[in-house]
Amino acid sequence: MFTENQIQQDPRDATPAPVSAQPTSGFAAIALHAALHRALADAGYTTPTEVQARAITPALAGRDLRVSSSTGSGKTASFVLPALQGVLDVRASGVRRDRGVVYGPRVLVLTPTRELAIQVSKATETYGRHVQGLRVATVVGGVPYGAQLKAMRGPLDVLIATPGRLIDHVKSGKLVLDNVSMLVLDEADRMLDMGFIEDIRFIAECTPKTRQTMMYSATFAGTVGRLAAELLNPAAQTIAVTSHTDTHEHIEQRLHWADDSRHKQALLDHLLTTREVDQALVFTSTQRDADWLADRLADMGHAVASLHGGLPQGRRNRVLQGLRSRQLRVLVATDVAARGIDVPTISHVINFGLPMKAEDYVHRIGRTGRAGRQGLAVTLAEADDAGMIRRIQQFTTQNIPVATITGLEPKKAAPRTTGGARSDGGFGGGKPFDRKPRFGAPSGARRPGGAFKPKRAGSTFAR
């Protein structure tokens, strides 16, 4: 996987790297370094997911991979573990780096968003916690250059980056990619949607042609497929684990029709006051709506914050940490900001505003029902949303069952969605909810603020 002519001197490289014995099942049957098996055991992971079982072994063998896998399938570990094994293999080989030259990373992971980059970085630190002297750096926009330059000095094992900021460092001469032995493109389709195709080509040109390339995408049709043909070895292995037509067996889906915006707010208020909610991720269509709705929910007493691309990176990091530490019960977010959020305690995803594209619906609901837990995805729609509901159902080839809440039933007839959900008020053949609604009077329209404000008295998020 890592060839000698791509490696420079590192005083740690001569450290022995014993590989654990291979028992017969689970992660233990995969030829990984003992330090990686120990980290997996610490995290409580014994059985690989399907994408891990199918991708790790060929990745360890140095194969280029073209992987399509749904969100929440464990794909991050399927490239992080082989990457860390490659780092350890080089150390065990005794190959030394030439002192006095710019090091650069051995592994480069490109992600579309800062949040996803941070998630991959955390996963790398989790799986590499017992790898002595492991150096991992994250390069994303919204973070001071000085801190990133400091993190990139000296031998660097893994670099996780968003394309724009990475190119800034490469073009300034502060970073070289001559020693990259593994290039990973995570959520490649999303990067292309965001206009990064030429950036990706430039970055790939800066890495050795002998590198191993692993490309992950929800689809390899169209432009993303052509890019894969450019960057991957012709003998690349294709692994298709899941698709947008999967049933999401751990996620229950519901559709509530609302008569108007006030009715939709009342439905949301009821949903967020139910005991079943551990933590909820509420999606809006715009940054403005996210700020307005978070302020409204805060006035009602919820521990809530907004998350979107208009917030400074430091504040976004604090919001995500608040979600992970359970200081926040509700997060109101836009699509781009929520990419990469991996918090197993998110029990509910609520689509207060519908996505711009049908495929984003799949990514949204995938934020719940993670790590084998059960999740609930609720969509609140008005009559004008019927077209998007229809496109979502056509895209997923599944109907979203319609549900009602006693006391909050719509007075208007449900719109027809061709080949779509039921409009008879029933929920998958079951009964409507009989819990009485508990919600405060919807507040009047308020001017949404762009800043992140505290959403609960005494909160550590106070301005």
- pLDDT tens digits, residue range 162-174? 999 999 999 998 8
pLDDT for residue 460 is more than 60: no
pLDDT for residue 14 is more than 90: no
Question: Among 10-19, 436-445, 452-461, which is the least confidently predicted range?
Answer: 436-445
Instruction: State what percent of residues in the chain have pLDDT above 90.
Output: 51
Residues 26 and 114 occupy one common structural domain: yes
Q: How confident is the model at residue 356 (pLDDT cuts 50, 70, 90)?
A: confident
Of 187, 210, 240, which one is at a domain's C-terminal end?
Answer: 240
Q: List the structure tokens of 200.
A: 């990706």
Residues 115 and 35 occupy one common structural domain: yes
- pLDDT tens digits, residue range 76-102? 999 999 999 999 998 887 665 554 445
* Count of domains forming the chain: 2
Residues 459 and 386 occupy one common structural domain: yes
The answer to whether the pTM exceeds 0.75 is: no
Q: What pLDDT, on a 0 to 100 scale, did the predictor assign at position 154? A: 75
Q: How many CA atoms lie within 13 A of 30 on its CB side?
A: 29
Minimal CA–CA distance to 56: which of 231, 214, 235?
A: 214
Residues 266 and 364 occupy one common structural domain: yes
- 321: number of Cβ within 10 Å: 13
Residues 172 and 301 occupy one common structural domain: no
Query: 317 CB contacts (<8 Å, ≥6 apart)?
Result: 118
Averaged pLDDT, 194-206: 94
pLDDT for residue 442 is more than 80: no
Residues 251 and 282 occupy one common structural domain: yes
Residues 227 and 262 occupy one common structural domain: no
Distance between CA atoms of 296 and 300, rounded to whole angstroms? 7
Q: What does the DSSP assignment read for 88-108?
A: HHHHHTT--PPTTS---EEEE
Question: Among 61-75, 107-121, 201-215, which is the least confidently predicted range?
Answer: 61-75
Distance between CA atoms of 169 and 178, rounded to whole angstroms? 14
Q: Position of tokens 């006051």?
A: 273
- CATH number, domain of 219, equals 3.40.50.300
Question: Among 45-49, 245-249, 457-461, which is the least confidently predicted range?
Answer: 457-461
Residues 128 and 209 occupy one common structural domain: yes
Of 240, 268, 297, which one is at a domain's C-terminal end?
Answer: 240
Q: Position of tokens 């970085």?
A: 121
Residues 191 and 280 occupy one common structural domain: no
Q: List the structure tokens of 270.
A: 């009821």
Of 197, 224, 240, which one is at a domain's C-terminal end?
Answer: 240
Residues 204 and 264 occupy one common structural domain: no
Query: DSSP label at 171?
Result: H
Instruction: State what percent of residues in the chain have pLDDT above 70.
Output: 79
Q: How many CA atoms lie within 13 A of 383 on its CB side?
A: 8
- Helices 114-127 & 75-92 angle (0-180, nearest 10): 50
Strand partners, 393: none
Across all residues in the chain, what is the average pLDDT? 81
Three-class DSSP labels, 352-392: CCCCCCHHHHHHHHCCCCCCCCCEEEEEEECHHHHHHHHHH
Minimal CA–CA distance to 356: which of 395, 330, 319?
A: 395
| In contact, 355 and 364? CB cutoff 8 Å | yes
Q: What pLDDT, on a 0 to 100 scale, did the predictor assign at position 47? A: 86
Q: What pLDDT, on a 0 to 100 scale, did the predictor assign at position 337? A: 65
Residues 208 and 269 occupy one common structural domain: no
Distance between CA atoms of 161 and 116, rounded to whole angstroms? 9
Alpha helices, H only, 260-416: 261-272, 287-299, 313-324, 335-338, 358-365, 386-396
Distance between CA atoms of 213 and 209, rounded to whole angstroms? 10
Q: What pLDDT, on a 0 to 100 scale, did the predictor assign at position 447? A: 33
Query: 412 CB contacts (<8 Å, ≥6 apart)?
Result: 257, 259, 383
Pick the more confident residue, 70 or 365: 365
pLDDT for residue 454 is more than 80: no
Q: What pLDDT, on a 0 to 100 scale, did the predictor assign at position 381? A: 96
pLDDT for residue 285 is more than 90: yes
- Which domain range does residue 289 map to? 246-463
pLDDT for residue 421 is more than 50: no
Question: Among 84-98, 99-113, 177-191, 412-426, which is the least confidently predicted range?
Answer: 412-426
**Rounded-to-5 percentages of helix, strand, coil across the chain:** 35, 15, 50
Q: List the structure tokens of 355.
A: 């996505």
pLDDT for residue 15 is more than 70: no
Q: What pLDDT, on a 0 to 100 scale, did the predictor assign at position 459? A: 42
Residues 180 and 287 occupy one common structural domain: no
